[in-house]
Chain A
Amino acid sequence: MDNVDGTEHYNLKVTSELPTLQVIILDTNPLAWDSLNRTSNLSFPAALSQLLIFANAHLAFSQSNRAAVIANHIDGAYFLSPAPPGTDTSDPDEASLTPEQQRDIAQSNASKYRGFRLLEDEVRATYRRLIRATDPKAVAESANASYLSGALGLALTYINRVCFGGSGGRSNGIPGEERGKVNAAGGQVDDTGRTMHAKILVVSVTPDPAMQYITVMNCIFAAQRLKVPIDVCKLRDSTVFLQQAADATGGVYIEPEAPQGLLQYLMMGFLPDHTARQSLILPTKVDVDFRAACFCHKKVLDIGFVCSICLSIFCEPPDNAVCSTCDTKLDVSSLANIGKPVVALPKKKKKKRALDSLSESNTPSAADSPVPIP
């Protein structure tokens, strides 16, 4: 009779898979792409097409999956899709098309799945607008410019809005805080209050923007708190920041050996979503470069100076011995000797100080502690 037990009827739990939001941050610095094209034969249009196929594949996983594309441009970060409300998403070249060409476009549109087509058209059209609005002179002056921190910030704020029910309530909430099972939008949520999982893919061709070290690190920690993995596909110039981003957030880090085959890297390495990643062994970088950039000159350092109060990093003792971050007066007197050869130490001073400290510390202890009598 023990077998006739009804309790299992209550324990039937549906393990639900939440949909995923994929945010793609794409470098759009024309000069950087050009030099990549020359070295490894991957042009920007080819890469964009492959990325769009990747986005489509992501959308194909589930009808509720969503995708966003952010351009990391030379002078700022811009949403390519979803385009900011109020922007004209029609193709700027469309007005010049003949009726025949327009019909051809309509025909080819009919052979695409609606969700895929909308994303693709939007990305391509806003990208064209972005490039048109860019001053060629500015491009020439900024071969390595990148707005990584801005793009990451946009991505994270967008994720916060979409994945946490549009309430924006995460700002005063603590991650992991138990919420109701249904959020304001009526969607299903998991125990951390999110309606969707999210992941960020950074496709990067520019070197580290060292000037943005602090802001980038702050974005990385924000992503860590939101449990959003930052995946990195580094096509050119190995970077310190992005390695750390992937490492800290549990994302995938790949530097493709053959950038022409970008699509296959994307499909195998970056496509698996939250659920699949729990059961897969993903490629990550083992020897992560943990070097930091200094706060004063934004140089990437092996060894530097650290403020004892706020842990700010400096490549040399700050001016007037005042920390530029927390305004603490630092005692830099003992730093004077660092870096100098040992023989060059002022012997006399050292001896005296050593003697002083010895006598200072010895006198009271000699008085207090019992001395064994011989």
Chain B
Amino acid sequence: MAATAQSMRGFEHLEGLPEAVFKRLYQQPATALAIFRRMLPNLGKTFVMAMLFNPDPIPISSLEAWVHPNKNSLKEEAFAKLRQLHLVTERQGTFALDPTFKVELKKALTGGGPPGCFGLPCDTDDKKKVDVSFLDKYATEQWESILHFMVGNEVPSSRRPSEGVVRLLLHGKLMEKARSSQETIITQLGFSFLLQEVNSQVWTLLLLYLDMAEQLRMDPVDILHFLFLLGSLELGQDYDMKSLTPTQKGMLEDLRDYGIVYQRKSSSRRFYPTRLATALTSEVRALSSPATTMRNAISQSDENGFLIVETNYRMYAYTNSPLQIAVLNLFARLISRFPNLVTARITRESIRLAINKGITAEQIIDYMTANAHPQLRKNTPILPPTVVDQIRLWQIEGERMKATHGYLFKEFTSNSEFNAVCKYANDIGVLVWADKPKMMLFVSKHEQIADYIRKRVQSNK
């Protein structure tokens, strides 16, 4: 499930934000709800809800007593996430929800927020109202034009992506200026971007946008608020710009270029979110349906898939779309081309080239599965297992060694201390390696471990 990993990346990025940013993020009901929904593990959500309407802080011991003793690791994972997102404050053995977050999530649940905190619908009817199918078509066209531009297809000038989009692609190193000419060409990062699922592509671009906006001195919190707000809007409803901040109004123009929102004119005061926007904060499974819709919409000419893969590694693609051919060319050796058919072959070389470009085997397999021809779909599993296994094997040929960034703890004073820390690290799931005789352990994250050791020392005094 590489697609899962990638669409989650958007939220992992957020985890690294400093505490002050989080405190400000929680000031909007829509953001509080989106963060609650997307970033917490199930047990974490349960804890938050148990504390939400409780006026007093809850003793940690009572939360611990609530959980089955054999599910300790899940509990520690939930606690760790709550601390990491600065959702709880710990005082004298009790947990209290962050006051701002508490208030705003309550507002989200009870509907007591300020008007427009979940978008302000226009109070007058649009004379030229657009429907959902129009919005889908618009979003698809806009998004597709960016993808076409990236693979260097000839696109009519009217559908060429705007300067802002090009700047963003260059900034994110998805494309770069060729040395010899003024033309922009796609990079390896760009190739792996192309193979992602639409929703993860959107998040990738938006995070790049966030990154670039910080350089332009735009307020990242404002931007994130708006993105989370977009995720909670209703498809096909027109919204008023009145409730937006100036930064957000500026963003609208860029988002319109990506096809995330629709505005008839830039001077218009109403905007429509498209499916790309409303899927922003949905979780992976819910997203698979809009994403499939989008994918189907993107490959409209052959909405049932076009790819046939045989056990002898030959591929037949019933397509004439330059975009799809370019994508195929990423991981297969093209052999011949006919008006409606391309034949290709998956070889060790072609896969290794793709992997060197930063594309993973899972991405390739997901792409082939998603675009499988109806004829191929009759089989279970859809793709021939030999091909799938071989692609994976080709990938792990190159993975003889794996580097993990982390921290080494050593020179423990006693064996019991070492064992306790070791157990704790294992419980919260950060332990990578431990050597008992040498009393050393290696962890991927150190903050909580340090906290834990400090607490132990204090309690021993």
Which residues 47-71 of A have a CB within 8 angstroms of B? 53, 56-57, 60-64
**Majority SS of interface residues in chain B?**
helix
Of A107-115, A140-148, A214-222, the one with at least 4 CB within 8 A of chain B: A107-115
Q: Are B116 and A64 in contact (CB under 8 A)?
A: no
B86 near A: Cβ within 8 Å? Answer: no
- Shortest C-beta distance, B103 to chain A (Å), equals 14
- Nearest A residue to B232 via CB reads A113
Partner of A188, one of B109, B118, B285: B285
Q: Are B116 and A114 in contact (CB under 8 A)?
A: no
A279, B123: Cα distance in complex, Å: 47
Q: Are B123 and A103 in contact (CB under 8 A)?
A: yes
Interface size on B, residues (CB 8 A): 55
A31 near B: Cβ within 8 Å? Answer: no
Q: Are A6 and B286 in contact (CB under 8 A)?
A: no
Q: Are B111 and A278 in contact (CB under 8 A)?
A: no
Q: Are B37 and A62 in contact (CB under 8 A)?
A: yes
**Contacting residues, chain B, for A111 (C-beta < 8 A):** 29, 107, 111-118
| Contacts A9-B396, A272-B46, A273-B42 given; does A280 touch B111 at CB 8 Å | no
- Shortest C-beta distance, B9 to chain A (Å), equals 15
| Contacts A276-B43, A276-B46, A279-B43 given; does A110 touch B119 at CB 8 Å | yes
Which residues 51-76 of B have a CB within 8 angstroms of A? 52-54, 65-68, 71, 74-75
- Shortest C-beta distance, B350 to chain A (Å), equals 20
Which residues 80-128 of A have a CB within 8 angstroms of B? 103, 106-114, 116-117, 120
Number of A-B contacts (CB under 8 A): 125
B253 near A: Cβ within 8 Å? Answer: no
Q: Are A106 and B46 in contact (CB under 8 A)?
A: no
A17 near B: Cβ within 8 Å? Answer: yes
Interface size on A, residues (CB 8 A): 45
- Shortest C-beta distance, B447 to chain A (Å), equals 25
B234 near A: Cβ within 8 Å? Answer: yes
| Contacts A9-B392, A112-B111, A114-B232 given; does A267 touch B49 at CB 8 Å | yes
- Nearest B residue to A17 via CB reads B42
Interface string of B284-304 (1 = CB under 8 A from A): 011011001000000000000
A130 near B: Cβ within 8 Å? Answer: no
**Contacting residues, chain A, for B30 (C-beta < 8 A):** 113
Q: Are B67 and A267 in contact (CB under 8 A)?
A: no
Q: Are A106 and B123 in contact (CB under 8 A)?
A: yes
B1 near A: Cβ within 8 Å? Answer: yes
Beyond the given A6-B396, A111-B111, A113-B33, please list 5 additional residue pairs across the A-B interface where CB-CB is below 8 A: A4-B400, A9-B395, A103-B123, A113-B111, A279-B74
List residues of B whose CB falls within 8 A of some A CB.
1, 4, 29-30, 33, 36-37, 42-43, 45-46, 49-50, 52-54, 65-68, 71, 74-75, 107-121, 123, 232-234, 281-283, 285-286, 288-289, 292, 392-393, 395-396, 400
What are 8 contact pairs spanning A and B, CB under 8 A? A10-B392, A57-B109, A64-B286, A110-B120, A112-B111, A114-B234, A264-B54, A275-B42
List residues of A whose CB falls within 8 A of some B CB.
4, 6, 9-10, 12, 14, 16-17, 19, 53, 56-57, 60-64, 103, 106-114, 116-117, 120, 186, 188, 263-264, 267-268, 271-273, 275-276, 278-281
